[in-house]
Structure 1
Amino acid sequence: MEVYIQVAVLWNRSLVQRSAAVSSGSRCCLVYRHAVAMGTNAKEEMQKFTDKNSRLARPLSPHITIYSWSVPMMMSITHRGTGVGLSAGVAVFAVSALVLPGDFASYLSLIQSLSLGPALICTAKFGLAFPVAFHSFNGIRHLMWDLGKGFRMPEVYRSGYAVIALSVLSAIALAAL
């Protein structure tokens, strides 16, 4: 024989009903049902929340103006951006290699025939080399973090500046080739 016990409690401004099936055997089943407290609905609760934040002049969270910009924050954003950019670049290059007529040598001779000048060519090569170098060096930095090294704030900043310096120097060297 099973006996059902229902308990209704007000928990965190919502009504929680707990049903327990109690039997003489060893099985016991608990069921929780959540419902909004009587007299309110989700729209009214959201309106109360918005009104309170407006009255207290709180910004939406997270809001870009409440953060102070730091090197680790910018390194994280740039690492993700270069990863997305490199993935998109490889995908576009692969699809264009499949779809466009001709081979790589014909497009290379087309670029050489434009006589763009060494300054523009080196700038373009730097623009291609920097994301690769930055993402690679910052990836090594993340691998060091995975090993549990370099978590103190001075080390985080020092490794960040080292990644930036190595990325710029490597990109310049690659662009000079």
Structure 2
Amino acid sequence: VGRHCLRAHLSPQLYVRNAIPMGTTAKEEMERFWNKNTSSNRPVSPHITIYSWSLPMAMSICHRGTGVALSGGVYLFGLSALLLPGNFESYLEFVKSLSLGPSLIHTAKFALVFPLMYHTWNGIRHLMWDLGKGLKITQLYQSGVVVLVLTVLSSLGLAAM
């Protein structure tokens, strides 16, 4: 590299001879890009309305959402245990004293356990993917339906306890 630079410095003809002319300028490239996009009716930027919703996409979004909700719930429960007066049993007795109907209690328990069960079953699905299993498109949809069925069944079972 040093000798090449030295030669270029000593002999400008060698430098000019090795120079490659640019085919197009940046402005010409941008014009070509926009003309191509305009003629093919492509959107300016991809956004959620371009892609049709699919089960794997929706389940991926929900997996992340349930992860955030579960971690937020753990933080809230921990902070409330530290900051609120009384203990857990006193709050449990307060809920019992409200005399809520069994259907409302069952629905509330189902709503609390559903994100945990979904995140658990879908996490197992992700672990299977890490092993290289179930990565074909048909298998993605099949495992997604299995996760949803297992989530509902296990949530109903835990809520019934």
Q: What TM-score does the superposition give when structure 2 sets the normalisation length? A: 0.77
Aligned identity (percent) is 54
Moved more, 59-68 or 4-13: 4-13
For the residues of structure 2 that align with 1:54 and 1:157, how far apart are their CA atoms?
33
Match of residue 110 from structure 1: 94
User: Could you list the runs of 5+ residues in structure 1 that have no partner in the other structure?
Assistant: 15-36, 38-44
Alpha-carbon separation, structure 2, partners of 1:167 and 1:89: 19
* Structure 1 residues 138 and 61, CA gap change in structure 2 (3 angstroms): same
Q: For residues 129 and 60 of structure 1, do their structure 2 counterparts lie closer, same or farther at Cα, with a shift above 3 Å needed?
A: farther
Q: Does 1:148 align with 2:128?
A: no
Q: Structure 2 matches for 1:156-175, cutoff 5 A?
A: 156-175=140-159
Which structure's residues are more often strand, by fraction? 1
> Structure 1 CA distance, aligned partners of 2:81 and 2:21?
65
- What corresponds to 1:72 in structure 2? 56
Pairs aligned (count): 145
| TM-score normalised according to structure 1 size | 0.70
Aligned with residue 90 of structure 1, among 52, 57, 74:
74
Distance apart, 1:58 and its partner CA: 4.5
Note the residue ranges of structure 2 that are not aligned, 5 or more in a row.
10-14
Moved over 2 A (4+): 1-14, 51-62
The CA RMSD measured in Å over matched residues stands at 2.8
Once residues 103 and 11 of structure 1 are traced to their aligned partners in structure 2, the CA distance between those partners, rounded to angstroms, is: 76
- Structure 1 or 2: more helix by fraction: 2
Structure 1 position 60, deviation (Å): 4.4
Structure scoring higher RCO (CA < 8 A, sep ≥ 6) equals 2
